[in-house]
Amino acid sequence: DGGITQSPKYLFRKEGQNVTLSCEQNLNHDAMYWYRQDPGQGLRLIYYSQIVNDFQKGDIAEGYSVSREKKESFPLTVTSAQKNPTAFYLCASSAGRADTGELFFGEGSRLTVL
Amino acid sequence: DAKTTQPNSMESNEEEPVHLPCNHSTISGTDYIHWYRQLPSQGPEYVIHGLTSNVNNRMASLAIAEDRKSSTLILHRATLRDAAVYYCILRDVMHNQGGKLIFGQGTELSVKP
């Protein structure tokens, strides 16, 4: 089945450690996005990529890094510089910049810093 | 980015219609109106979107005001599975790089049996 796969579903990290969240899609979509969600809040955009080897900062990019070496993959690294990394992280994709249709979301990765 | 305003919460009875309102008074001509819903601990799910005309799909209907400053998501017969947070979002793929979605707080819909 086509869709977006995020892993791991749950992740625990000690303070000061970097952690990488995986996001893979087999929808042949050009655009991919990373969002962060805190309890009781809406989603906030971290990074997005419209095409391979290109990405832009979203509203809360500090303390995060991404890469887009393959169309199918858009991993997110939460670095030790992120002051409050405990959150629910969601990856999404869409057909492309000019597409007006839907974004497809993964099931999310819940990161807890101990 | 243009903003949307939604009520924090709404209640409905099972098998009754639900009308979820959204105000977007600063909408631009190239903004598409999108609705997503999110169940607890899951990623958001696309519901419907439109530009000017009313839209229908298997999940819901979207009624857009003539001046486009407001819209209403209509669930024709609410079920317990429709209990979720509903987000009304404006998406501008012409001027908003990447066509990103800007999420607000959404409306938490509860459905009573």
Q: Which two tokens stand for residue A109?
A: 């990765």
**d(CA A84, nearest CA chain B) in Å:** 19
Query: Please, which residues have CB within 8 angstroms of residue A85's CB and are 6 or more apart in sequence?
Result: A13, A19, A63, A78, A111, A113
Q: Which two tokens stand for residue A65?
A: 């890094």
Residue ranges in chain B whose pLDDT is less than 70: 1-2, 93-99
Task: Show which residues on chain B lie within 8 Å of chain A, measured between beta carbons.
Answer: 32, 34, 36, 41-46, 49, 51, 87, 91, 93, 97-106
pLDDT the model gives residue B75: 97
- B102, B93 Cβ separation under 8 angstroms: no
B83 closest CA partner among B23, B40, B34: B40
Nearest CA in chain A to B44: A105
Q: Mean pLDDT, to the nearest integer, of A32-60?
A: 92
Mutation target to probe the A interface, by most A beta carbons within 10 A, among B92, B100, B107 is B100
**HEC secondary structure over chain A:** CCCEEEECCEEEECCCCCEEEEEEECCCCCEEEEEEECCCCCEEEEEEEEECCEEEECCCCCCEEECCCECCECCEEECCCCCCCCEEEEEEEECCCCCCCCCEECCCEEEEEC
Using the predicted structure, report yes or no on whether residue A1 has a pLDDT greater than 80: no
pLDDT the model gives residue A95: 86
Using the predicted structure, report yes or no on whether residue A57 has a pLDDT greater than 90: yes
Residue A97 and residue B53: Cα distance in Å, rounded? 22
Using the predicted structure, report yes or no on whether residue A13 has a pLDDT greater than 70: yes
Are residues B93 and A100, on separate chains, in Cβ contact within 8 Å? yes
Three-state DSSP at B97 gives helix
Q: pLDDT per residue over A20-30, tens digit each?
A: 999 999 999 99
Per-residue confidence band for A48, with pLDDT thresholds at 50, 70 and 90: very high
Nearest by CB: B99 against A31, A90, A105: A31
Q: What are phi and psi of A33, to 5 degrees?
A: -140, 150
Nearest by CB: B98 against A48, A104, A110: A48
